[in-house]
Amino acid sequence: METRDLGFVHRFLPPKTEGQPVLLLPHGTGGEETSLLPLGTRLAPDAAFLSPRGKVLENGMPRFFRRIAEGVFDLEDLRLRTHELADFVESASKVYAFDRSQVVAVGYSNGANIAASVLLLRPEALAAAILLHPMVPLVPKSLPDLAGVPVLITAGRRDPMVPPRQTEELMSLLRRAGSEVETFWQEDGHSLIPDEVRAAHEWLSRWTRRS
């Protein structure tokens, strides 16, 4: 388990077998660098895991960027933090000698939002993404080319933090950028449920076979 200083407190676990993806695991508000490692193991037990801790504190809880209020983001900070995270992935690929073309973001809530922002502002950093309960982080001045960068979005129809229209708007935005977007809807709220994790596992397995 590696913890070298690359600008983020983080954990890196190498793959158990060759040909596996590298899962970038940005956590939700209040999480830290080990929070999504169990989820990563459930999705792809043989994969490599790169799991950073968010650098912004909100009432003592780590996040990946500042927000002004619930659902209202500090866009200047979001852009800055997005580039920081993309640069971190690039640096980590050199230090830990992994293939950047195999990096799949698996982000939850705030972590899903920063991963979506990376897709929109630094698409070269990711090969694919699983966004668990994301919102639209921002709308760039010009859309990136996301052809060949598939995305799975999961969402809850009764999510008190992410209205369904936010999910639909993000789907539309990513599709306009050329991404092949799939969506898994569950009937509960903001928490992950077993069927959702199972759907993410199946999606990732298909992506790994294709790549």
Closest to 88 in 3D by CA, of 180, 188, 4: 4
User: pLDDT at position 1, please?
Assistant: 52
**Average pLDDT of the segment spanning 133-162:** 96
Which segment of 40-49, 64-73, 122-131 scores lowest on mean pLDDT? 64-73
**Average pLDDT of the segment spanning 142-166:** 95
Which residues are part of the catalytic machinery?
109, 159, 190
C-alpha distances in angstroms, 143 versus 26, 67, 149, 150, 170?
A: 23, 23, 14, 15, 12
Which residue type, as a one-letter code, is found at position 105?
A
User: pLDDT at position 2, please?
Assistant: 52
**Reported pTM:** 0.96
pLDDT in tens, 178-211: 999 999 999 999 999 999 999 999 999 999 988 7
Give the DSSP per-residue string, 103-169: EEEEEETHHHHHHHHHHHH-GGG-SEEEEES-------SS----TT--EEEEEETT-SSS-HHHHHH
Domains of the chain: 10-210 (3.40.50.1820)
What is the average pLDDT value for the chain, to the nearest integer? 95
